[in-house]
Structure 1
């Protein structure tokens, strides 16, 4: 049986969070009632406000992929247009605040090309230097 390790909080916690949000409970009291970190509950609240309870309850599945146009348009709407992040998430179908915040930061730094930047998975300068081996050409060679 495989377990999705990305899902840190069970469905029941998110169901209870929906009930609390429906009742108008804020992040801090909800976090205390659920015994969940406040930042996690804040993220749930963003998703709840932008997409509703169904999206919050279906969280934890496959990560979404966003097109170049979506990333640039969403970042531009927030940075240049002053749109609220929750509104941009709803309008552009972005399921998490984290990528939107990253795109906005990159957009401020490099414009449209910056918002489209995607990490390659390898830090710059992390490749090994294929120079001569320390023992090559030395003693005992």
Structure 2
């Protein structure tokens, strides 16, 4: 049996959180009841409000990828249209609040072009430059004269 190490909190904790949310308990008392950090429970509450209990219980594992059009539409709806973030998450199928907040910030700063995906991989010309040669070591011999070289170096 393999354990998914990306999931920090077990299914039972999230199941109990759903029960508490159904009962109308807020994130602070739920966090204290579950002994889970308040920010984590707040994220669970966002997902619960946007997608329901099924999405909260199936959380974890694979990260979602969003197209450029989805990013622009969601950020524009929140920033320009004044849509609530939970509503935007539900409408555009965004599973986490974090990317939506990042997209909104980028959209405010640079418009739609700031949400374009960047180039993938290592940039061209980023290889390390070849060394000119091995440095010559200098040391003093007990007689007072200086010699150069070393056990792995040729004499100059």
| TM-score normalised over the length of structure 2 | 0.78
CA contact (8 A) 1:7 1:60 kept: yes
The residue correspondences of 1:1-141 to structure 2 (distance < 5 A) are: 1-118=1-118, 120=120, 127-130=126-129, 132-135=130-133
Q: 1:117 to 1:108 in 2, by over 3 A?
A: farther
Q: Deviations over 1:93-131 (max 9, x none)?
A: 001111111111111121111123358476x8xx4542x
More helix, by proportion: 1
CA contact (8 A) 1:78 1:88 kept: yes
CA contact (8 A) 1:94 1:100 kept: yes
Q: Which 10-residue stretch deviates more, 1-10 or 113-122?
A: 113-122
SS at match of 2:49: helix
Cα drift, residue 135 of structure 1? 2.3
| TM-score normalised over the length of structure 1 | 0.86
Instruction: Tell me how far apart the structure 1 counterparts of residues 33 and 79 of structure 2 sit (CA, whole Å).
Output: 35
List gaps (5 residues or longer) in structure 2: 137-153
Q: 1:70 to 1:24 in 2, by over 3 A?
A: same
List gaps (5 residues or longer) in structure 1: none
SS at match of 2:111: helix
Aligned residues: 138
* Greater RCO, CA 8 A, separation 6+: 1
Q: 1:128 to 1:81 in 2, by over 3 A?
A: same
CA contact (8 A) 1:75 1:115 kept: no
Task: List, as ranges, runs of 4+ consecutive aligned residues in structure 1 with deviation greater than 3 Å.
Answer: 117-122, 138-141
